[in-house]
Structure 1
């Protein structure tokens, strides 16, 4: 970032976050104290859609953590529809579990069903159920586990600055009706605008559900409009680039770009492949999906023991070609090398397997 010159305010703040986000994660900065394992509980994981890589990855973490703490787990798939999610929560409540884990199920959309579950004394935790980490008052969610969306966006945008020496010509891809996504997109736009020598060329609202149909045409038309002036594509999700990359290839753009893509979430398998092979995408801010699953089980154990949530928020991590050999990268997932399983088992005590 030396070529960017001295920076202040938002740009300096974002570049500082980026420096930390690019490091190999070895130190555990999560909880080291908490209640011992409550034995023999039943937990239900209600998935927004098990086809979604993030939702699936968290479910795998929840599964291994539930086995370690000695709990029974049932997974119910909301199959990506509102009706499916309502039915999944109702089925979960009917099982009379001790706890429910919401996997990317929006708290406000499902407020009535969540309130009904809470009224029966079921403890509820969420992953990506609200825009911010921590407790949700209404509907009552003991705690919501997520990285800080604003910091994810700052890191992605800062990497656009760093890799273009603060000359980014950026196009930002986002979708309406998605609180977390909008927050990320607006922050990326703010960082690019705060860099005086950068430009936001376009701010493109494309629903993630329509990427297959829309992104090839979007990409071709942006190339025609901006040519080599389009140096960076920033997206709220890797999915945009699944369909933009082939369109660039068809248009004869070299895999090293420009443009080059950076995603502000969540680190899909395809994104890891592109980053590793240097194929258009140079970075993805990946969520620690398995670790989040362990945190969700730990938070439920705190709720069942009548203790407050841990307050832990996992730090933001950017996967690039320079660090992809660490932290689960070879397996196409961000899984920090910080021994989180061992630390959580130590908190839960001797009953933990």
Structure 2
């Protein structure tokens, strides 16, 4: 065989080996982007694909509480919001209002406007109203140390939503419970999705807000997960405060496009709203809505995110919080506090929403929780003892 024939045979053999080792995109983007050989991170890739497939299921049964105290009547809750422009905060506030109407309580929302001064003023106003309990809605309790001390002195139960990195009760700050999915699991499944969708070969930009410890921790965990696959490269971490996202994100995206050009193939953000603000810059640069960079939000799954995903316009997936469900859980945690019971300990499992599993919906609203909480709260009492106890 002559030198040219030998070289041709070698190329054909290499091409065949590469073809048998490549995989296309696993789910969601609708693109058939091929990745490198499995030699890059085969075990990580297989695990990521399996975990994403499980997280995309929408038919899981309710795994939250099915027992607890019946409704304690006549309570008033104040929801102190980090900012109502944050879709996650606003979604949970609506869930709290919905659940409060069922249990028979009143709710007032006070908007902190996304600034430390505004949040402190909102919390002080909440204390002055002398409610039965206060929700810390999406901000770091360290911002309001003075108000926390006042609430504790007044024996006001506090329930957080995304107030701490971990779910459940907290002693410092003193929270009866903190309602959130596990940030570790959210970050893990976000990184898994990028790895699975890219077949282990991506250039990634992460959007975050380092002013919020919860968000900073989440983005650090995402970056750590991406590092499990050597051919998934972190190009940049864009630190943009959520309150400034609408003004700063378009300019940052334009700068990133100029800097990285074709290297930027995937994005992950600690909140979906970054992609609402990124879309005009991507569109102006001639990027197709269903093409690279493929974007996933690691929270919170607001209606506009679902619309972008379904229409394949600059967002391919989200890891949504079950916002309305979490609002109901906030109310249930307060009810347990008022009854003298311990916190429920429930943590919602992570979910990945894509165009394939989100037809006709505008939020991740898993089944079963409304019925479960109604059954807990509405149990009749017989002779002063709650039935079933």
> TM > 0.5 between the two?
yes
Indicate which of 311, 331, 340 corresponds to 1:297.
331
Indicate which of 347, 352, 356 corresponds to 1:318.
352
Indicate which of 48, 71, 85 corresponds to 1:37.
71
Is residue 205 of structure 2 the alignment partner of residue 194 of structure 1? Answer: no
Cα distance between partner residues in 1 of 2:237 and 2:354 = 24
Is residue 371 of structure 2 the alignment partner of residue 342 of structure 1? Answer: yes
SS at match of 1:311: coil
> Structure 2 unaligned runs (5+)?
1-20, 24-36, 382-389
8 Å Cα contact 1:275/1:320 also seen in 2 = yes
Is residue 136 of structure 2 the alignment partner of residue 89 of structure 1? Answer: no
Which has the higher mean CA deviation after the structures are superposed, 51-60 or 282-291?
51-60
CA drift at 1:37: 1.1
> Structure 1 unaligned runs (5+)?
none
Aligned residues: 347
Which residue matches 2:210? 176
SS at match of 1:109: helix
Cα distance between partner residues in 2 of 1:85 and 1:224 = 37
Cα distance between partner residues in 2 of 1:172 and 1:341 = 35
Q: Give the structure-2-normalised TM-score.
A: 0.83
Which residue matches 1:62? 96
Indicate which of 248, 255, 259 corresponds to 1:225.
259
In structure 2, the CA distance between the partners of 1:129 and 1:25, relative to structure 1 (3 Å rule), is: farther
Which residue matches 2:173? 139
CA drift at 1:88: 2.1
Which residue matches 1:273? 307
8 Å Cα contact 1:284/1:319 also seen in 2 = yes
Cα distance between partner residues in 2 of 1:150 and 1:246 = 31
SS at match of 1:203: strand
Mark the structure with the bigger radius of gyration.
2
Is residue 363 of structure 2 the alignment partner of residue 333 of structure 1? Answer: yes
Task: Please list, as runs of the form range in 1=range in 2, the aligned pairs for 1:205-224 lying within 5 A after superposition.
Answer: 205-224=239-258
Cα distance between partner residues in 1 of 2:114 and 2:310 = 30
Task: Please list, as runs of the form range in 1=range in 2, the aligned pairs for 1:118-157 lying within 5 A after superposition.
Answer: 118-157=152-191
In structure 2, the CA distance between the partners of 1:10 and 1:129, relative to structure 1 (3 Å rule), is: farther
8 Å Cα contact 2:272/2:301 also seen in 1 = yes
SS at match of 2:93: helix
In structure 2, the CA distance between the partners of 1:48 and 1:168, relative to structure 1 (3 Å rule), is: same
Note the aligned Cα RMSD (angstroms). Answer: 2.3
1:14-66 CA deviation, whole Å, 9 max, x = no partner? Answer: 54442322110441000011111112222222222222211211111111111
In structure 2, the CA distance between the partners of 1:73 and 1:218, relative to structure 1 (3 Å rule), is: closer
Cα distance between partner residues in 1 of 2:44 and 2:333 = 33
